Structure 1
Amino acid sequence: MKKIPPPAQLKKDIHQAFKHFHKVQEPPDNLLSNLVLVQETQKKESAKPKRYCVNVVLEKGLTQLENHQAEGAQILRKRFLDNKSISEVDKELGLSSLDRVKHKQSSAFSELTQIIWDLEFAARNALITAQKSKLEAKSYTELFGIDKLHKELRNLLMAEASPWVVTLAGIGGIGKTSLANFTVRHVIERLHYHDVVWLKISEVGRGKRPYPTPQTFDKLIGQLCQKMLPALSSQTSQEERLFHLQQLLKSQRFLIIIDDLELQEDTAYLISELVALSNPSRFLLTSRTKPAPHAGSQSISLPELTEVYSLALIRHYAEEIGFAEAVQANDKELLPMYKLVGGNPFCLKQLVNLARHRPLKSLLDSLGKRPLDSGDGMYQHILKETWLGLSDDAKTVLAVMTLATEAGMDADQIAKLSVLPDARLWPAINELIGRSLLEIRSSTLWERSYGIHRLTELFLRSLMNGGSDEDTENDDV
């Protein structure tokens, strides 16, 4: 979306828009129709033409102008809404001078320009806030080592042409969701997209036996229609849903984030289907596997953090949770943590949490007795150590969280399922948040929903299924 025109240009555009107030043809974009004010009016008045929406904004500005410069507003109304000449306005208002009418008209246009500029600025901020609210809540306060990746992803998402499907690929816990969240928030600031949608694909097929790939796509289309086309009947056929969704995605520019793809075949199949739905809309996927090249798509692989960034993350997170010894430790003391798990942010955070409660040497010796695999297996092994140090109430809450939906679960739902009173529930929730095991999915002043990372869920399901440590490591995820 274009930036707000500078005041001098906006004043000219407003003047021209008034001159076209009674025109039948639709106004060109330079006559205010590219303003968020006009586009938001079009959303509310979908059956009305663009001309009507531009005129609504002009009249709204005039109404506010009347509170500050009643005579100037009256001149503009008579001149452009009533189609009267300057001499007619002069006679009706008794200003006794055409030059005086012109001067007051120019002054009125200047003040009206500032009013509409302020209204547009507020409308843009409101739209940015509304779009950001549709994203998953930030699970980070600072990201490390992502500057180059962020710039590359931002450029792809802001491009006017292909690729229409972008995939962030990397092992579990590497930071794909955080990078996507961080970058999309920057893109939203530019209002490049009509709207954004965030989906967690793990809600489509959970457990060790996911739905077949075509059915995964069908479930995804159902979820998108629920969010983007809520007026469609639940009885609408899949073919009709796909048709209406394609029409919408082809007519306006949407950014759809599909988070947490696990299976390589899911990623490959979805890309082939989503490319056909895109342009000008775009899809951003996060996947554990790097997809094969496909026309209209591009992938970015997330590497592990370097040693420097890993140590910076350890200190930053230690400071967040009040672990002063780790904050003050030198590189040589912290380096064994990096050498054990590499630059995996999720694993590093869990190690910092464990080291806060156990001496680092015995902790590393315990974990080092059996070589740690990379990726999910490594995290599952570390999480078992974390699990052993949790309170019983925290374990109860974590077990309940495996039932959470895409949107998460609020405190009332957790309380009902865990059967924990408030006096025990909130200490357990705070404990899990402090251990980075519970994520805030969405948050307002009055409401808050919680969820868990997919890797945490896999570990918990393994426990509930009676799996041993070895079983957890060998899970096919």
Structure 2
Amino acid sequence: MKKSIPPAQLKKEIHQALKHFHTVQDPPDNMLSNLVLVQEAEKSEAQSSKRYCVNVVLEKGLKQLGIYQSEGMQILRKRFLDRKSFAEVNDELGFASIDRVKHKQSNAFSELAQIIWDLEFAARNALITAQKSKLEAKGYTQLFGIDKLHDDLFQLLTAEGSPWVATLVGIGGIGKTSLANFTVRRVIEQLHYHDVVWLKISEVDRGGRPYPTPQTFDKLIAQLCQKMLPALSSQTLQQERLFHLQQLLKSQRFLIIIDDLELKEDTAYLISELVTLANPSRFLLTSRTKPAPHAGSQSISLPELTETNSLALIRHYAHEIGFEEAAKANDEALLPIYKLVGGNPFCLKHLVNLAMHRPLKSLLDSLSKRPLISGNGMYQHILKETWLGLSNDAKTVLAVMTLATEDGMDAEQIAKLSDLPDARLWPAINELIGRSLLEIRSSTLWDRTYGIHRLTELFLRSLMNGGSNDEHNDL
């Protein structure tokens, strides 16, 4: 979709579209056919031509014009819909001269352009809001150190050609999901895609064992069909699902985000399959492992935050949670946090949260007793310290969240599985959100779903297995 058309240009396009009101062929791009209004009309007017849908928009505009400028509406209808000359319109409406009709027609075009522009503006905003609602809820208020990466990813996602599959690569907790969410929201503002789909896909079973790679792909296709082709039966064979999905992705431009891939073999296999489904649609993956080069694919690696950006994040997050001592602390006081865990946002935030409840020196001394190797071992160690400071109700809710699907779990489901009454459930949920352990996956005025970060889930499964995974560092 193109950017919003200014009223002056829209006036010219309306004039051309009215002149061709009775033409059979579909209109070119400069006759309103790129308007969101027209595309919305195509959805509601099944099997109708684009010409018919442009005319529907013109009729709607003329109807509104007639409410407060009846003469202008009549002139445009007689001139273009009834195909009458200026002289005929002048005689029928009793104006003083043909020049007077021409003057009123010009004014009517300006008024009609403003009406259709206002309708288009409202339609675009509604579509942007609808597309953003399909993304995971924002888990951030400000991002640090991502300006160049954000611009690179934005350019890649709005390019007219290859690569058709983009992969954000980085260790767990580095901010891949946040960068993807932030950038896709900017892409949506451009209405570059017909629609967006956000998916999380489990690569392991409840016992933590990896699914076979083809099965992961089958699960992905099933989820996509459920969201994009809801009329397709769940009993449809995989090859038929692929055929219908490919037809849709090749006929319209979709952006599909597949978040939080872990396994190297899955990422490589998915890219090889997704490239065949893409163009003009595009896929954005987030992965902890860098895929091998593949035609039609490109990866962007996320490094750790620099010292400056890490300290800025610490102060910003400390201020958000009301930890003003840390928010106002100088660099010398905060540097030990960065030196201990580096520039990993997930670890930095959890250490700040811990420091709000425990003296920083004793906390860092405790964490320094065991080397914090990169990977799962580091997260396990930090999250264990966080776990010890939680209320029993918060621990109960967190344990329940390991049963959540990729789309998350609502409060009613959490209450049922945790057996906690509202008076204890909501304080526990708020405690976990405040400690950055519970994420809001989707949010509306009436409902919310919750989920946990994959690193948190790994830690909880480690606890359930007696801590046997504490030393793994393969993530």
Alignment of structure 1 residues 171-210 onto 2, 5 Å:
171-202=171-202, 207-210=207-210
Question: Is the CA contact 2:376–2:470 (under 8 Å) kept in the aligned structure 1?
Answer: no
Alignment of structure 1 residues 446-457 onto 2, 5 Å:
446-457=446-457
CA deviation map 1:171-224 (0-9, x unaligned): 100000000000111111111111110001237755421211111111101100
CA deviation map 1:414-437 (0-9, x unaligned): 111111111111111110010000
Alignment of structure 1 residues 212-251 onto 2, 5 Å:
212-251=212-251
- Unmatched 5+ stretches in structure 1: none
User: Which AA in structure 2 matches 1:46?
Assistant: A
Q: Which residue of structure 2 aligns with residue 71 of structure 1?
A: 71
Q: Which residue of structure 1 aligns with residue 93 of structure 2?
A: 93
Give the CA deviation at 1:346.
0.3
1:365 is the counterpart of 2:371 = no
User: Which AA in structure 2 matches 1:399?
Assistant: A
Q: Which residue of structure 2 aligns with residue 260 of structure 1?
A: 260
Give the CA deviation at 1:46.
3.1
Give the CA deviation at 1:474.
2.3
User: Which AA in structure 2 matches 1:151?
Assistant: D
Distance 2:38 2:370 in 1: 63
Question: Is the CA contact 2:375–2:473 (under 8 Å) kept in the aligned structure 1?
Answer: no
User: Which AA in structure 2 matches 1:258?
Assistant: I
Q: Which residue of structure 1 aligns with residue 383 of structure 2?
A: 383
User: Which AA in structure 2 matches 1:256?
Assistant: I
User: Which AA in structure 2 matches 1:5?
Assistant: I
Give the CA deviation at 1:406.
2.1
CA deviation map 1:299-351 (0-9, x unaligned): 01111111111111111111111111111221111111111111100001110
> Percent of counterpart pairs with the same letter?
84
TM-score by structure 1 length?
A: 0.97
1:403 is the counterpart of 2:400 = no
Single out whichever of 227-236 and 401-410 deviates more from structure 2.
401-410
SS of the equivalent of 1:472 reads coil
Give the CA deviation at 1:375.
2.3
SS of the equivalent of 2:349 reads helix
User: Which AA in structure 1 matches 2:187?
Assistant: V
CA deviation map 1:71-106 (0-9, x unaligned): 111111122222222222222222242222222111
Distance 2:145 2:474 in 1: 30
1:45 is the counterpart of 2:45 = yes
Give the CA deviation at 1:142.
0.5
Q: Tell me the number of residue pairs that the alignment of Structure 1 and Structure 2 aligns.
A: 475
User: Which AA in structure 2 matches 1:472?
Assistant: D
Alignment of structure 1 residues 35-434 onto 2, 5 Å:
35-202=35-202, 207-434=207-434
Distance 1:292 1:233 in 2: 35
Give the CA deviation at 1:449.
1.3
Distance 2:105 2:312 in 1: 60
**Distance of aligned partners of 1:27 and 1:36 in 2 relative to their CA distance in 1, 3 Å threshold:** same
Question: Is the CA contact 1:441–1:451 (under 8 Å) kept in the aligned structure 2?
Answer: yes
Distance 1:408 1:79 in 2: 57
Give the CA deviation at 1:111.
0.2
1:439 is the counterpart of 2:439 = yes
User: Which AA in structure 1 matches 2:316?
Assistant: H
Give the CA deviation at 1:404.
1.4
TM-score by structure 2 length?
A: 0.98
Distance 2:236 2:141 in 1: 42
Question: Is the CA contact 1:208–1:476 (under 8 Å) kept in the aligned structure 2?
Answer: no
Distance 1:207 1:139 in 2: 27
User: Which AA in structure 2 matches 1:407?
Assistant: D
Single out whichever of 97-106 and 10-19 deviates more from structure 2.
97-106
Distance 1:426 1:219 in 2: 33
User: Which AA in structure 1 matches 2:256?
Assistant: I
Q: Which residue of structure 1 aligns with residue 470 of structure 2?
A: 472
- Unmatched 5+ stretches in structure 2: none
CA deviation map 1:274-321 (0-9, x unaligned): 111111111000000011111110101111111111111111111111
Distance 1:13 1:360 in 2: 65
User: Which AA in structure 2 matches 1:471?
Assistant: N
Question: Is the CA contact 1:169–1:299 (under 8 Å) kept in the aligned structure 2?
Answer: yes
User: Which AA in structure 1 matches 2:469?
Assistant: D
SS of the equivalent of 1:163 reads coil
User: Which AA in structure 2 matches 1:430?
Assistant: N
Distance 2:231 2:462 in 1: 39
Distance 2:161 2:149 in 1: 19
Question: Is the CA contact 1:205–1:216 (under 8 Å) kept in the aligned structure 2?
Answer: no
SS of the equivalent of 2:247 reads helix
Single out whichever of 427-436 and 446-455 deviates more from structure 2.
446-455
Distance 2:97 2:41 in 1: 38
Question: Is the CA contact 1:42–1:50 (under 8 Å) kept in the aligned structure 2?
Answer: yes
